[in-house]
Amino acid sequence: MKQAKLESTRHRVQRYRTTPDLIADELREEIRRGVLAGGQPLPQEELANRFGVSRIPVREALLRLEGEGLVAVYPNRGAVVTRFTADEVREIYHLRRLLEGDALARAVRRMTDADLKRIELTMDRAERGAIDSDRGDPDWAELDGAFHAALYEPAGHPRQSAMIAALRGTVDRYWTAYEALPAHTEAWLDDHRRIVAACRARDAEMARLVLHEHLARAGAIVLAGLKAEEAPDGAA
């Protein structure tokens, strides 16, 4: 089974856009799913053997992930999956509130009925994904991300949206690792509904306020999980 999976991965390398694209996508997904944990080494030689390539595309893929904040590359030490401190998580969520609150307020003022229908469809998909999921898995996180992206798209600021997506990508993995969704599902979905209701009412400030509350709750959950992860066994 392991050999078959390896051959499948190598076949995908051969037909992908570019080899570094595939390697970066595979590693990004494994980080997001918690398969590769914070602090885990990423030896270039092992990755090159795994993907059936030289170390050059592996190095390029790791540098891309470093640019996204998912990997740290150290001279003479190699690469490791990024592990955030509590202060770094607080900073990420502070930036998310600033950027996403601004994007949403701008978007609300420009939303058409077609935009609202599209947003409601993505909200419904995210809701079904959350309810059907036994835990906050990456599939749900992806649907939730699509909902937020749909909210901000009418703002017409693609660079800002890209920055938001990058910040979100750095912390999505903690939802998977901590299996955080079940205890918070109803509050989470209620936030989504309140945001959409404010959008329908064209109330930009209310939409921003609810979003800030939503992101503050998300940050607190991630920080709680991070604290439990760092605690000695049995101390959490």
The closest of 173, 167, 35, 163 to 90, measured between CA atoms, is 167
Query: Percent of the chain at pLDDT above 70?
Result: 82
DSSP secondary structure string for all residues of 23-74: HHHHHHHHHHTTSS-TT-EE-HHHHHHHHTS-HHHHHHHHHHHHHTTSEEEE
Is 6 a residue whose pLDDT tops 60? no
User: What pLDDT was estimated at residue 130?
Assistant: 72
User: What pLDDT was estimated at residue 236?
Assistant: 44
pLDDT grade for 90, boundaries at 50, 70 and 90: very high
- Tell me: the pLDDT tens digits for 130-160? 766 544 455 777 888 999 999 999 999 999 9
pLDDT grade for 127, boundaries at 50, 70 and 90: confident
pLDDT grade for 211, boundaries at 50, 70 and 90: very high
Is 70 a residue whose pLDDT tops 70? yes
Q: Mean of the pLDDT values across residues 77-105?
A: 95
Whether 27 and 173 have beta carbons less than 8 Å apart is answered as no
Between β-strands 71-74 and 41-42, what pairing exists: parallel, antiparallel or unpaired?
Answer: unpaired
**What rounded mean pLDDT belongs to the chain?**
86
Q: Which residues contact 138 (CB under 8 A, 6 or more apart)?
A: 29, 32, 33, 172, 176
Which domains occur in the chain, in start order? Answer: 2-81 (1.10.10.10), 86-230 (1.20.120.530)
Q: Which residues contact 153 (CB under 8 A, 6 or more apart)?
A: 107, 115, 161
Alpha-helical runs (H) found in 153-235: 158-177, 185-200, 204-230
pLDDT grade for 234, boundaries at 50, 70 and 90: very low
- The amino acid sitting at 209 is L
Q: What 3-state DSSP class applies to 84?
A: coil
